[in-house]
Each structure stands twice: as C-alpha cells, then as structure tokens.
Structure 1
C-alpha cells in the first residue's frame, strides 16, 4: 500500500546531532543557524534527502523551522503541530516555540548579543524571508551570513535526490495546451516589462508544461526548475535522465537542461528576470546580482492561472469526487459494521480506506498520509499513526479521518468525524457547532473581489459564541492532479487573494480538545458565478459549488442547535449525496447510504 506506519521520528538523536551542529557553528564563527522544513522549492512535502529538520530534531510535521543558538534550539511551529512537536522531540534539547505569535527576530534578539552572526542556507529561504530578517535584525546588531547547509555536512547517510521519470499530462484533461499557457503567461511578462521569470515551484511548472512526476510521495510533480520567457519559450531544468523521450512531446519551444545549470542559465538571461519574493530562493537573487542582471520582484506567473481551473479540470474534479465519494461510502459502511466490536485499530482504519480507494482501479496515490485519530489522537491536527502510536478504536469515542486520493482527473481531500457507539452530549454539541461553520461557508454568496480572509470568520462564529476556536485556516486551495495544498487561494485570516471562478478550496472548520477528542468536517468546494437574486442589485456575485458527496454522521448532529435553513441545507445535501453516489453502490453499502442520508427528522437507522 502507499502509506506505511514505521516510526520515523527520532527524539533520542536530537541531542547528539544538535551538539554536532553547534560544533560546526563554532568552527564557522556563527552564533546561530536556521534549519527550516522547506526545500529549495518551498514545498510543504519534501523528498527524504531534504528532510533536514526531521533529521536534526525528530519533528516530522510539514511546517516549521528550528533556530539553533549556542544554548537553545527553538522549534517554531504553529497551532497544528504543537502537540506533535512535544511528542517527537527531546524536551531537554528542543524547545517548541509558538509561531507566528512569537517572532523569530524577537526570539533571537533576546538570546544573541549585538554583533552576533546568523547563518542561513540561501537555497532554503526566500527573498521575502531574508529581507524581513535583515530589516528586523539589522537594527539590533545581528547580521546574516549565507552558508552551505551545515546539516548536509553532518548527515552521513543522507538519501540521494529523487530522479523519477517525467510523464506528459493529457491536454484534454488539462483543458489547455502547454503552448497556449506559455504564450498567455509570456504576454503577461511582456506587459510587465519582464524578459523572463524564474519558476521554482514544481506544481506550477508541471501545470505550465502539462507534465507530471513522482519525485515526491503524494504529489505528482517532478522536482525541477524552469525559466519562462516573454516570447513563450521555456527551459526545463531537471535531473539528468528524468526527461528521456520528453523533448518531442514538449516541442521545440521548450529546451531541457540539467538542474545543475539552472543558476548559470538564469544569469545568462537579458533581464529583468522576475523572481517571486514569497517562493524564490535567495540564492537566485544573489546569482543574478553577481551577474549584473536586473531583478523584478513580482508574483509567480503560474500561481493564479493554475488556481483558476479550466472547465475540463472542474469536470475532472467532479468525476474524481464521485468516484472517491463511493469509496468513502463503502468505507463508512464497513466502519459502522466493524468498529462497534472493538477489534479495529487506527492502522486497520487506514488500510481499509486505502483499500476501498484502490478498488476504484483509478487511484494513482493517496493525496497525503491518511489521518485516522481515535479519541485523544483526533486532537493532534496532523496526526500520523505509526506502529508505536497505534491504538484501538474504542466504543464511546470519536474517530477523525482526514484523507484523499490522487486520480488522473482530480485530487480529493475529505474529512469526516465518526461516532464509535453512542456519542456524548458534549461531543454532539461541538460537532454541530463545527458543522454550522461548514454550512455557513457552503451557503455563502459574496461580491467579486472578496478574499478568503473576508469569509474565514463565517466558519468560526458558532464556535466563538461558545468561547471556542481552532488554530488552523478554514480552507486551502487544491490542485488538479497536483498538490493537495495549493496557493494562492485560501480561506484563512492570512489569505488576501480575491476568490475567482474556477478556484477549488477545502472547507474544513474543526474543534480540538487536547487529551480528549478532535472534530473536523471537510468538503471541497469550487468558486463559481452566482445567479442574480430577485430584488438584488446588479453587483456581480460569487458562490461555492459543493464537490464532495459523503454523508455527515447524523448521530452527532444536535438539531436543536441548527436553524431551519441549516437543517434544510443538510437534508438537501444528503438527498443530493444519495442521487450522486447511490448508483455507484450496491447491496449493503447502498442501503447504508440511504439510511445515513435520511432527513434529520427521521429516526437514525445506524448502529
């Protein structure tokens, strides 16, 4: 199967490795060093050879960084990972730091004297990060020094970089040829007065060239760089041997060069060369400055066009969601029949769900490691079950299952929280408050120009009114057989990009009580134009199309907390789920779905 369950965190290795790092720091005259989770592509998921933060500290989460001084190692993590960080690191050596509440510059300035030197790898930090650090640390007398990554010098058995073959993605599924995309984006560069753009994000390059890869588990992308020019030509920089046979498919306007030639090829462009300050490594700016090439800081030209899916990509997403929804229905039917007996573990749940997806005969990979958290494990937002943490799924608990699949026609991501046996009243209350937030986003109508930050509060109001909240964004962008987490769109307090038709997002509010339970409910939604309402003005409005069709657990819904509109929305959603999914099922699974989607006024017919 795709997912494995070995324990990969090594807290006991943290102390000697950090001590060795401090030895290198002393040799280099460094007072502190930054070790981020990110790779040179700023990806959320990294190849084993780039998992430096995990190697150093034991922390396996997908976001965060460590600041190591002569006496402290601060692991900066956001609210999703604080429980996990404490469990995966050595408490005597690594100190979890709440981020972004605690600013790195403040933390460092409290620990380093004026005249101190902070080392950083310019391939692993963006232009924006480095500029902000220089601005914040300069007045405090702390200087930055670009260095070769010290972890790489210590990591004796570091895995080799991946070099999996690159494949062509069908134009009919993409809905637009690569030549059309390159010419369209080239015109954008020309209008901005930019001769070329450095592309560093693999999913953007895969989208632009209509290619896919398998260098990163769960993400169908090749780890590559590219240069796009204003005339629509491009150069793909990849590992030697990855692109065999690809030249003819990409055409004469796309050259293929070694990944090692990227910096020199970039420095040979006429300029100005566009660099995206939020994602381009500082190493690129340093090389261009050295060559005297003008730099234009601007957004990645692929980001927004990639986010606005073509009609073909939206159609593919709908098809993938129906296929995945049927697999989820079979899984939930199996779970309802099996779990009450008390014989299941979290690993059993993960294996079974992947099996139902594999039975579709269309699964290419899972879109991320399945989260199956029973009881207190559900409160670990990005929990990954291992052989060491695996526990039984017990009656009277909640089971949080967050999962997804990678299919050629689309990427899925769904979370359902399920009652194992009769739930408690507090659990029902919390579940219903979370469900109210998900419904509020699903029903939202909003003017063009509204961003995710303007809608995020809709998902939280019901929780806020009870003094509760959650520490993650309400939703992220989702790719089209690409990364399950895709920008620039999102539903969060930090998302300032206006929502546009064709964008696909997750809608996933939650609530977590450490040591007890976790609740999250997630559907995928697509932005579309909204039909005018009688009596409304002529302002153009947008709304969300629901893409996910999987029932909610009616046993956990307290209808007394719902408005008439919310009850009506749930009943319509369940009726549509039956209409979409039941024809894909037979026997007991179909009967289960019909019962699970009964109107809220009907007696629950589930165990």
Structure 2
C-alpha cells in the first residue's frame, strides 16, 4: 500500500539505501508450480439479508466521493466491493468475497473488474444493471484513461497498492487520499443485518452447546487431541445444514499451544489435550445471515487455584467491556483499559487488541472499528465488535474469553444527563464455572454472569436435545 511504501522509503532514506520498484516479481521466476488464480463462483447477496439495495449503497458512496471533490474512487478491498454490490464469493479461504477491483465515479455507472468465469449468466445480468463488468486486465487501462483525462481519483493510502497510485499519476491524473468510503457504512449494520447476526448466533450457539456437552464427556479421558476437538466442533456446525464455511482456521490450543495467541493447529503441532490444564478454543462460522467468532477456555479435570485466578481476572475484564456504558464519540482505545485494569493490578497483561470489528457474512476481521490501544474510530450504533481479553503464561496454557458485541442506540441512565451507548451481547454460550474464583467477583459481576447464563439457557432451551439441555442447565447454574 501507498502508506507502507512511504514508511519503507523513509527508512531507506535514513539508512542511505534506495527503494526500487520492480516490474516483475522475482519469485515468479522460480515458482514453477504456482496455482492458477482462484475463480470461485460469485453469488448475489439477497436484499432481504443485506437490508439495502446495491443501487442505494452506490448512491450513498457516490455522494461521499463527490464530497471529497473527487471524480471517482478506486476500491481495492474485496469485502468493500462485495458489500457495495451485494455480492459474495469464494476466492479467499473462510472469507466470502470475490477478488476484484472497482472504480466508482461520483456520477454514472461504476466499473467492476472481475474474472468473468466467476459469473453465471444470471449474476452477470443482475450486475450489468448496476455496473460495467470488465475483465481484470482492463483495470490498469481504465486508470490510465482516467489519468489522461486529468481526473481526480480517490484512493485509500492504507489499502491501495503503490502500483495503482503510480498508474494514475503517471498518466496525468490527480490523487485524493482518503479512507475507503465503504468502510464505515459497511461497519454500521442495518436492521436486516442485525437481525441476521442474532439469528446466526442463536443457530451457532446450539451447535456450540452440543460441542461443549460432547467435550465434557470425552476430554477427561485424556484421549482427545486439538485436531479432534476442532473437527468435532465443525461437524456440529455442519449439522445446522446452512454452514457456508468456518470463519477462520480454528485455534485449538492445548497446554503450551494455548499460550500462543494466534496458534494454528497442524498435524505436526497437534497435541493431546491434557487433564489438569485449561484448553483454549477460538472458532467461528460463516452463515449467509451472519458471521460468528467465539472463544472459550475450558477446564479439563481439576484446575489449580492459580489457573482459576487467571481465568477470573480475564473474565472480569470481559464483563467490564460487555457492561460498559459510554457516550457518543467514545473510541475503542478509551474502552480498551477496562478489559485490562484487573490484570494490570495483578501485574499481568495481554499483547493483542481487546476487540476487532466483524462483518455481516463478510470478513471476520473488519475495520475501521476496534477495541485496542490503536482504536481511534468512534464506536457507533450498529457496529459489531469482539470482546476478547486474555492471558497467556508462556509455555503453560492460554486463557481467552470472547463474545461478539453489538453497539446499541444511546439511551438515558436514571439520574444521568447524557444518553449512553451500550453493548448487546450476541454470542450465547456459557463460561466454564469450574474455572471461576467466585471470591474475586464483585456482586455486580456475579449479577452480570448469572443474568448472561440465564439468557443463554432461556434462548437455547427450546432448541436442544435432552442430553445437551441437561448439561446446559448445570453449566448455567447461578452462583
């Protein structure tokens, strides 16, 4: 991206070095068995699920482009393009997006540059009403023609490749640097997308409860490994009959593997899940109506007092985020401390953000919203974010507790002066009470935990088989 090239250029300048752009990738000279580019089929995303027509979205984005005095905007992010034109794809593992580029003029018909082999006749016909569909090879020529016409083109310097900027400028065009205008509208879910998220999470919660029940039966034997747990969880999701894909490679971390924040299990790294240590599993699903992401840390056999203390400190941070009230204009950076303060008091911390944005049957990680030290974008109603504090004693085990949260409309607080935003928890799965040190929880934290578990039980009870329901009733017992 343009911004990264500038950073590299600055470093080179200080070192007395030169940054050189190459016309050809030197790796191509030795990569003899490189796969062909993906040509996953493109599907239309129904307006019922999207909540808005593609033409409405295009008009909104064109107004934003005109407000920047740009003649057109170059879109480079597949999820931005998928959201704008109400399409989904399968070119990127676990992400329902088609690889493509788009040029959206301030007025007139956008151009979508996509491999035509991805488009069925019906999809192509629907898209032709909205956009000019062209092959990817025509993209650079389009930039050059706009540049030769002296157009002012809007690009996001954090996302657009330097080659795109060069193609515009070298042809005589002008650059207007601004954030991708799709990012914020995409992040603020409308009513249909919110309803879809709730439905997806309820469906996913049923599969997850069945997994937790199964796990409690099998794991204490000491004969379950990380891959076996991950595969079984995916099986329960597949049994919903509507799973499109998992939303990322499941993080199934036993013992010291759980202490690796972004661990990915492989045949080589696969461990048996030990008795007497917490087991961390971070997973998610892609359904046509929503994207899920959940982490639970589970007790396998008896756990030490120290493990329970660590778990409860993380839980306190999770509750602090979930129960927060905050005014309009609050950023994720301002909330991030809430997740850490009890860990900090104990001399502990975690080295990742507390939360990332989540798409609506799109990428499980989306911006611009996030809860982190670098989260400078104000949170707005309709945004969905993860809430996932953790703690990872190196070489021992990992603890992370993650729910997805929806930012709700501001409302008043009795005796207060300003309306405050809040979070609605979308994820519905119990926290492992066997790891909770109840003496470390305040009365308010116990009330939150009991209320959350009561909600989980009430919503899932009508949807579970007898065995899983019996398990869930015990797992959600009030403390």
Aligned equivalents of 2:95, 2:476: Cα separation in 1: 33
Q: Name the SS of the counterpart of 1:274 in structure 2.
A: strand
Question: Superposition pairs for residues 428-443 of structure 1, below 5 Å?
Answer: 428-443=308-323
Question: Superposition pairs for residues 191-230 of structure 1, below 5 Å?
Answer: 191-230=67-106
TM-superposition CA deviations, 1:194-241 (whole Å, max 9, x none): 111100000000000000000011000001111111115211111231
Large movers: runs of 4+ above 3 Å = none
Report the equivalent of 1:168.
44
Report the equivalent of 2:232.
352
TM-score scaled to structure 2, two decimals?
0.97
Tell me whether 1:521 sits opposite 2:401 in the alignment.
Answer: yes
Q: Name the SS of the counterpart of 2:129 in structure 1.
A: coil
Coordinate RMSD, CA, aligned: 1.1
Residue of 145, 158, 163 corresponding to 1:268 = 145
Please report how far the alpha carbon of residue 434 of structure 1 lies from its aligned counterpart in structure 2 after TM superposition. 0.4
Residue of 125, 129, 132 corresponding to 2:4 = 129
Paired residues of 2:392 and 2:398 also in contact (CA < 8 A): yes
Please report how far the alpha carbon of residue 342 of structure 1 lies from its aligned counterpart in structure 2 after TM superposition. 1.6
Paired residues of 1:179 and 1:232 also in contact (CA < 8 A): no
Tell me whether 1:591 sits opposite 2:474 in the alignment.
Answer: no
Report the equivalent of 1:15.
none
Paired residues of 2:223 and 2:272 also in contact (CA < 8 A): yes
Residue of 391, 411, 424 corresponding to 2:291 = 411
TM-superposition CA deviations, 1:139-182 (whole Å, max 9, x none): 43222110122222221211111011111110110000000000
Residue of 261, 267, 276 corresponding to 1:381 = 261
Aligned equivalents of 1:576, 1:232: Cα separation in 2: 49
TM-superposition CA deviations, 1:344-373 (whole Å, max 9, x none): 111110111011101111101000111111
Please report how far the alpha carbon of residue 495 of structure 1 lies from its aligned counterpart in structure 2 after TM superposition. 1.2
Paired residues of 1:182 and 1:233 also in contact (CA < 8 A): no
Paired residues of 1:445 and 1:530 also in contact (CA < 8 A): no
Paired residues of 1:185 and 1:232 also in contact (CA < 8 A): no
Report the equivalent of 1:156.
32
Aligned equivalents of 2:145, 2:421: Cα separation in 1: 44
Residue of 423, 448, 456 corresponding to 1:577 = 456
Report the equivalent of 1:34.
none
Aligned equivalents of 2:117, 2:249: Cα separation in 1: 29
Aligned equivalents of 1:368, 1:139: Cα separation in 2: 39
Tell me: CA distance 1:426–1:304, structure 2 relative to 1, closer, same or farther (3 Å). same
Paired residues of 1:182 and 1:232 also in contact (CA < 8 A): no
Aligned equivalents of 1:232, 1:523: Cα separation in 2: 42
TM-superposition CA deviations, 1:547-571 (whole Å, max 9, x none): 0010000000001111110010000
Please report how far the alpha carbon of residue 136 of structure 1 lies from its aligned counterpart in structure 2 after TM superposition. 3.7
Higher normalized helix content (fraction of residues):
2
Aligned equivalents of 1:288, 1:477: Cα separation in 2: 31
Please report how far the alpha carbon of residue 251 of structure 1 lies from its aligned counterpart in structure 2 after TM superposition. 3.9
Tell me whether 1:477 sits opposite 2:357 in the alignment.
Answer: yes
Paired residues of 2:413 and 2:419 also in contact (CA < 8 A): no
Tell me whether 1:534 sits opposite 2:414 in the alignment.
Answer: yes
Aligned equivalents of 1:469, 1:219: Cα separation in 2: 31
Aligned equivalents of 2:422, 2:144: Cα separation in 1: 44
Aligned equivalents of 1:160, 1:394: Cα separation in 2: 42
Aligned equivalents of 1:520, 1:405: Cα separation in 2: 18
TM-superposition CA deviations, 1:97-127 (whole Å, max 9, x none): xxxxxxxxxxxxxxxxxxxxxxxxxxxxx11
Residue of 108, 129, 142 corresponding to 1:252 = 129
Aligned equivalents of 1:136, 1:369: Cα separation in 2: 34
Q: Which has the higher contact order (CA 8 A, sep 6+)?
A: 2
Please report how far the alpha carbon of residue 540 of structure 1 lies from its aligned counterpart in structure 2 after TM superposition. 3.6
Aligned equivalents of 2:370, 2:63: Cα separation in 1: 27
TM-superposition CA deviations, 1:302-322 (whole Å, max 9, x none): 100000011100000000000
Aligned equivalents of 2:215, 2:395: Cα separation in 1: 23
Report the equivalent of 2:390.
510
Tell me whether 1:315 sits opposite 2:195 in the alignment.
Answer: yes
Q: Name the SS of the counterpart of 1:528 in structure 2.
A: strand
Aligned equivalents of 2:373, 2:296: Cα separation in 1: 24
Paired residues of 1:395 and 1:420 also in contact (CA < 8 A): yes
Tell me whether 1:567 sits opposite 2:446 in the alignment.
Answer: yes
Aligned equivalents of 2:368, 2:378: Cα separation in 1: 9
Paired residues of 2:413 and 2:420 also in contact (CA < 8 A): no
Please report how far the alpha carbon of residue 397 of structure 1 lies from its aligned counterpart in structure 2 after TM superposition. 1.4
Paired residues of 1:320 and 1:411 also in contact (CA < 8 A): yes
